[in-house]
């Protein structure tokens, strides 16, 4: 067996920042530390933090007044922030700056009287938070077919935004249809789909044709990980989305395949290495790293954490929790 290890893969800058924020919150404040929704959509990361005294909640009413609460990388709506203030919670905002960018765009377009067409997946935490910024002005668009049924008050005042973790190809199909339907549609000056999502998708597209199977490390509720598996499948290559080595079924392989391994932007490198070790031990796999491009992006930690607990020497954002 030959393993092609795609690069870039795994943690993006936003996930690094969110995870390091939670690490520092555990050092700075008494447990339990609460997190609104999952810190990132990855079972390994969430379970590890839960074992260390983090409590993940979906309703702020479950957070005792005065407690420490961290907002996840996916962002939250103004309503959630208001409830947190009313409950006198010490909040730490670990929203990815690229998600914040979309929120600010939604606010600006709404103030200027635009109908906003948000391309994304219903129910995703990021989408829920973005819609919350301008609920009366935003319509969710999930497919090109949705475009045909849209009714807007003024077709000259329409703008689109996108969820940051979408398939680039899927988003472009919807955008093309939007431009056909609304020739004057406005868009942000810089696209919303994040650099890491695009890089990981491009790496899979570049390498999938060399592989007999693609293993994507990531959880089922991770949008960007799902897109990687779908991209491989669309190219005619079987793909499996798995949380870790424990999910690998040896019957998937006959020992002679070329396997492409990648990881979604919320999957830690430790699970990648465990999968490689499992394939090496079982099939004597050789490993070849194939790099599309380097990533050197980083985001600052939330100000409240920088002020109470400086990053210690030797720490690096994004280390495994």
Q: Quick one: pLDDT at residue 310?
A: 56
**How many whole angstroms from its chain centre is CA 304?**
23
> Is residue 306 scored above 90 in pLDDT?
no
> Is residue 280 scored above 60 in pLDDT?
yes
Q: Where are the domains of the chain?
A: 2-11+195-291, 13-96+298-308, 98-181
To 5 degrees, how large is the angle CA 99–CA 240–CA 41? 30
Give first-to-last CA distance, the chain, whole Å: 31
Whether 49 contacts 39, CB under 8 Å: yes
Residues ≥6 apart with Cβ < 8 Å to 122? 140, 142
With cut-offs at 50, 70 and 90, classify the pLDDT of residue 71: very high
**How many whole angstroms from its chain centre is CA 318?**
14
Question: pLDDT tens across 205-259, in order?
Answer: 999 999 999 999 999 999 999 999 999 999 999 999 999 999 999 999 987 799 9
Give the CATH number of domain 2-11+195-291; options: 3.30.300.30, 3.40.1010.10, 3.40.1010.20, 1.10.150.120: 3.40.1010.20
Residues designated as active site: 126
Q: What is the mean pLDDT of residues 62-89?
A: 96
Q: What is the mean pLDDT of residues 25-51?
A: 95
What's the whole-model pTM score? Answer: 0.90
Whether 20 contacts 318, CB under 8 Å: yes
Give the CATH number of domain 98-181; options: 2.10.70.10, 3.90.1150.10, 3.40.1010.20, 3.30.70.20: 3.40.1010.20
Spatial separation of the C-alpha atoms in residues 182 and 165, rounded to whole Å: 24
Give the CATH number of domain 13-96+298-308; options: 3.40.50.11270, 1.10.10.10, 3.30.420.40, 3.30.390.10: 3.40.50.11270
- In CATH terms, are 2-11+195-291 and 13-96+298-308 the same topology? no
Mean pLDDT of the chain: 93
């Amino acid at each position: 067996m030959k393993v092609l290890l795609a690069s870039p893969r795994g943690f993006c800058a936003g996930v690094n920042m969110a995870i390091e924020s939670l690490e520092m919150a555990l050092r700075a404040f008494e447990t339990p530390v609460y997190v609104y929704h999952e810190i990132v959509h990855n079972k390994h990361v969430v379970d590890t933090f839960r074992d260390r005294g983090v409590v993940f909640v979906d309703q702020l009413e479950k957070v005792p007044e005065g407690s420490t609460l961290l907002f996840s990388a996916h962002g939250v709506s103004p309503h959630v922030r208001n409830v947190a203030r009313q409950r006198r919670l010490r909040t730490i905002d670990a929203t990815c700056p690229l998600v914040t960018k979309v929120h600010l765009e939604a606010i600006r377009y709404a103030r200027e009287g635009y109908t906003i067409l948000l391309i994304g997946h219903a129910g995703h935490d990021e989408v829920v938070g973005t819609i919350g910024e301008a609920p009366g002005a935003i319509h969710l668009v999930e497919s090109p077919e949705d475009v045909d049924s849209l009714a807007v008050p003024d077709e000259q005042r329409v703008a689109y935004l996108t969820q940051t973790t979408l398939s680039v190809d899927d988003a472009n199909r919807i955008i093309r249809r939007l431009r056909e339907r609304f020739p004057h549609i406005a868009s942000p000056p810089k696209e919303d789909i994040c650099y890491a999502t695009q890089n990981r998708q491009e790496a899979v597209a570049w390498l999938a044709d060399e592989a007999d199977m693609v293993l994507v490390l990531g959880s089922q509720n991770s949008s960007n990980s799902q897109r990687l598996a779908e991209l491989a499948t669309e190219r005619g290559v079987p793909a499996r989305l798995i949380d870790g080595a424990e999910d690998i079924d040896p019957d998937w392989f006959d020992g002679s395949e070329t396997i492409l391994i990648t990881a979604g932007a919320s999957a830690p490198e430790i699970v990648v290495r465990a999968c490689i070790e499992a394939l090496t031990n079982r099939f004597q796999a050789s490993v070849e790293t194939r790099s599309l491009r380097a990533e050197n992006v980083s985001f600052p930690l939330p100000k409240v954490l920088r002020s109470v607990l400086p990053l210690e020497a030797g720490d690096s954002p994004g280390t495994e929790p």
